[in-house]
Amino acid sequence: MARGPVFHAPRAGSPAPAHAATSSDGAPADRRHDPAAVDWEGLRGRLEGTLLRPDDVGFDDARKGFNPLHDDRVPAAVAQCASAADVAEAVVAAGGRVPLAARSGGHSYVGYSAPPDGLVIDLRRMSHVAAAEDGSVSVGAGAPLRTVYSVVGQADRCLPAGSCSTVGIAGVTLGGGIGVLQRKFGLTCDHLTAMEAVTADGRVLTVTASATPDLFWALRGGGGGNLAIVTHFTFATDPAPALTVFVLTFPAGRVTEILTAWQSWIAAAPRDMWANLRISGGSPPTCRIAGCFVGPSTACHPLLDDLVLRAGVVPTGRTVQDRDYFSGMRFFAGKPLRESFVASSRILTTPTSDPQAVTNLFTGRTGITLIVDPLGGAVADTVTAQTAFPHREAFATAQIYASATPASEADVTHKVADVVAGLGALGIGGGYVNYIDPDLPDWPAAYYGPNLRRLRSIAQDYDPDRVFDFPQSLHHT
């Protein structure tokens, strides 16, 4: 396997990496939950950044992610890294001794970015974003999307990515990177040209298609937390387009008609059009369609008129606005700083043949939402085997989402699982790794499909001691 150049090794005085002990059958032994095995003070002294332990001021805030439901996950330490060398120091010092998790935005759906008794490798100090004259953009792995969009937009360029402004660029990209411009410009990972990454043995590599072809392939859709810790991304961008954003709301009780019409309409729409369908449970369920069109509103309105005609349902509300790239991205960014929720996902390989059955799943289930995001267009221009993202030929991704509190979490989790199972019974299987869910049936195949075997092989090559391990890592079945 080709290996990229090592920019720098851990600093002098760093301990040797701990190799993973194994049981007699070759499985990892339970040795990685011993914080006392790590020389925390030695690591603190070698970091350019800051190491926070539970008794340190600022630790409690630093350890918490986006979802308060996971505030009970308390790591042994948080390393606020300032450079790739810091990340390498942290990996060498703690890898094989305690669980490791890289944190960018901290939006892991089930809190994997804060491993109990482990080390959070916090990348948020590495958040510099710079646009170059050749149209490329250099992005630190800790940058949130709002910063990426701001810098890219000021350069009059465009990078397709997610809609939540506080999500970190690393998590979005490593899982593939779906978003409101994907049908026109493709996934976020499709724009990657190079990465800087720290491997399980503490090396810092330049990851490109020519230098490290297997790792470059795997990190484009193989999911965050697997394989290596990416510290820096280089993306190619497109000229910033004029956009039209819109929202159509429909009367309650008309979900079946809207879902039926939306499916045929978006499948036939030009790739300039992206529009998702949001179904909210209730008695009866309600729905709305929101989207982004690459072009002026004068060209968008006729397409929306066609959707309404197909549905035979007059919207109760219709908002259509012309926007530039940056303000267009801000239109979809309405997320709080923190939010308590339970979520999962499915993949529609083709339009559902039974929209009424989907409606029935949400009848009476107040508080649960289905968000269906269309694929197609530029997403399908890249063949499935070309990157680790496996859903190139699918029709849409579906997210099942519900707000919850600590008191209601168990009940809400059960209700979400019921909907996930109901969609599965309708032939809607698979899943999107960025909406990770430990209860999703056969999650390895669901998240990685035909790319699973190759991904596991690459994980074994780059991380044979399972340093980057967690309950849904590539090392697990």
The residue out of 219, 240, 261 marking a domain boundary is 240
Same domain, 231 and 297: no
User: Per DSSP, which regions of 269-340 are E strands?
Assistant: 273-280, 286-294, 317-323
Query: Whole-angstrom Cα distance, residue 74 to residue 308?
Result: 50
Q: How many CB atoms lie within 10 A of CB 312?
A: 11
**Which long-range contacts (C-beta less than 8 Å, at least 24 apart) are formed by 212-216?**
212/1, 212/2, 212/3, 212/4, 213/2, 214/1, 214/2, 214/458, 214/461, 215/4, 215/458, 215/462, 216/192
Same domain, 287 and 322: yes
Among 175, 121, 177, 120, smallest CA distance to 148 is for 177
Among 120, 223, 105, 111, smallest CA distance to 168 is for 105
How does pLDDT run across 384-398, given as a tens digit for each residue? 999 999 999 999 999
User: Per DSSP, which regions of 99-217 are E strands?
Assistant: 100-103, 119-122, 129-131, 136-140, 157-158, 192-198, 204-207
Parent domain of 296: 243-450
Q: For residue 146, what are the contacts with CB-CB under 8 A and spacing of at least 6?
A: 165, 166, 330, 333
Same domain, 329 and 216: no
Over residues 190-208, the mean pLDDT reads: 98
Same domain, 362 and 426: yes
Same domain, 145 and 282: no
> Any idea which residue has 């402004």 for tokens?
165
Using 50, 70 and 90 to split pLDDT, how confident is the model at 474? very high
The residue out of 209, 240, 271 marking a domain boundary is 240
186-205 core/surface letters (b: 16 or more CB in 10 A; e: else): bbbbbbbebbbbbbbbbbbb
User: Mean of the per-residue pLDDT values for the chain?
Assistant: 93
How does pLDDT run across 436-462, given as a tens digit for each residue? 999 999 999 999 999 999 999 999 999
Q: For residue 69, what are the contacts with CB-CB under 8 A and spacing of at least 6?
A: 111, 340, 341, 342, 404, 406, 409
How does pLDDT run across 402-449, given as a tens digit for each residue? 999 999 999 999 999 999 999 999 999 999 999 999 999 999 999 999
Same domain, 312 and 376: yes
The residue out of 240, 257, 285 marking a domain boundary is 240
In a domain, 140, yes or no: yes
Give helix 255-268 / helix 297-311 axis angle, nearest 10°. Answer: 130
Over residues 352-374, the mean pLDDT reads: 97
Same domain, 200 and 305: no
Same domain, 393 and 250: yes
* pLDDT above 70 coverage of the chain, percent: 93
Q: Residue 166 belongs to a domain with what CATH number?
A: 3.30.465.10
Pairing of strands 396-403, 368-374: antiparallel
How many domains does the chain divide into? 2
Torsions phi, psi of 54, nearest 5? -50, -30
Using 50, 70 and 90 to split pLDDT, how confident is the model at 32? low
In a domain, 95, yes or no: no
Over residues 357-373, the mean pLDDT reads: 97
In a domain, 27, yes or no: no
Query: Is the pLDDT score of 8 beyond 60?
Result: no
